[in-house]
Amino acid sequence: MRNRRQHYLRVRSRNFSNAELKRIPTPCVAIYRMGSTTPTEEITSVARHIEINSPEGCGISANKILMKQKFDEAEVRTPKWFHTDDNNLENFKNSIKDKMREWEGDAIVKRFNSSKGVGIHLINDDDSLEAFIDLLRRRNDNPENYIVERFSTYNKEYRLHITKDGCFYACRKMLKNDAEVRWHRHDNNSVWIIEDNPLFNRPNNWDAIVEDCVKALNAVGLDIAAFDIKVQSRLDSPKWLILECNSAPGLGEIGLEKYKEKLPEIINNKYQELINNE
């Protein structure tokens, strides 16, 4: 009898640290997109296949404007924001001023494709606003490439890794004691605290936060993604805000092990759906 061919997960990712996921065996051709928007027909010509994360979902999550629109449509909790198609820099500057007065707070300006803290600017006074507008002018960059978001003062930040079934892995992102930039957290100025560490400090309404993330996941059209969340410091039913989602999160050693456990579940569920529909 002819041996059945062994398949392995086809991971579409630019991050070589995720290569270990390619060792996951699959029952048929299976594609896992980590940020990739490559069309299916350019990856495989096999009709019988399964896909984890669609190219459309990855495209939405990579574009902060589209992502925020989907968040609003699903009515998930996310910071107030606005986007303009008016590329007049003076008008853009005045719009930011108006929004800061309306919000009674500072603003964060993010390029639509920013990541890992690059392309993100804090606007907290006239000088920082003028400096940002001058930067756009020097770079010949347009306001339509940015979203403006109300700066959240919630001082706890978490990253939740989410599927339609809920959260399977989470970390708290805490600033290092010697961090010079303290208004946003990224790998260079923060440490990651896992759930079994007392400093994780899990809110008592965690299930509601996870439920909101699942709603956002479905709105964006992904099967699995990481969500950055800011949470009030109080433990008694704190408010939260979903900042953004990421279909291609960086994974450390623990994260890789968690994904190696979770992905086979997703693959098997999708395979059962596939054979049930044949």
pLDDT in tens, 30-42: 999 999 999 999 9
Share of the chain above pLDDT 90, in %: 79
pLDDT of residue 143: 96
Q: Which of 169, 186, 189, 167 is nearest to 178 (CA)?
A: 189
Tokens of 202: 């899990």
pLDDT in tens, 72-108: 999 999 999 999 999 999 999 999 999 999 999 999 9
pTM: 0.92
pLDDT over 70 at 218, yes or no = yes
Query: CA-CA distance, 188 to 206, in Å (whole number)?
Result: 27
CB 24 within 8 A of CB 8: yes
Query: CA-CA distance, 219 to 217, in Å (whole number)?
Result: 5
Residues in contact with 173: Cβ distance below 8 Å, sequence separation at least 6, in sequence order = 157, 158, 159, 185, 190, 191, 192, 193, 228
* pLDDT grade for 277, boundaries at 50, 70 and 90: confident
Q: Which segments within 43-165 are labelled E, that is strand? A: 49-52, 81-82, 107-115, 118-123, 146-150, 156-163
CB 67 within 8 A of CB 132: no
Tokens of 66: 């589209």
Query: CA-CA distance, 192 to 187, in Å (whole number)?
Result: 9
CB 40 within 8 A of CB 204: no
Instruction: Determine the CATH number of domain 59-77+153-260.
Output: 3.30.470.20
Query: CA-CA distance, 39 to 261, in Å (whole number)?
Result: 27
The mean per-residue pLDDT over the stretch 236-258 comes to 93
Domain ranges of the chain: 59-77+153-260, 81-150
Residue 29 region by backbone torsions, left for phi larger than 0, else alpha for psi between -120 and 50, else beta: beta
Residues in contact with 113: Cβ distance below 8 Å, sequence separation at least 6, in sequence order = 62, 63, 64, 119
pLDDT of residue 70: 97
**How crowded is residue 10: how many other Cβ atoms within 10 Å of its Cβ?**
18
pLDDT over 80 at 179, yes or no = no
Fold of 81-150: Dna Ligase; domain 1 (3.30.1490)
* Average pLDDT over all residues of the chain: 92
pLDDT of residue 110: 93
Q: Which of 244, 211, 215 is nearest to 230 (CA)?
A: 244
pLDDT of residue 4: 63
Q: Which of 70, 74, 73, 75 is nearest to 60 (CA)?
A: 70
The mean per-residue pLDDT over the stretch 133-148 comes to 95
pLDDT of residue 15: 80
pLDDT over 50 at 119, yes or no = yes
pLDDT over 60 at 28, yes or no = yes
The distance between the two most distant Cα atoms of the chain, rounded to a whole number of Å, is 76
pLDDT of residue 198: 93
pLDDT over 90 at 190, yes or no = no
pLDDT of residue 115: 67
pLDDT of residue 3: 46
Amino acid symbol at 57:
G
Share of the chain above pLDDT 70, in %: 96
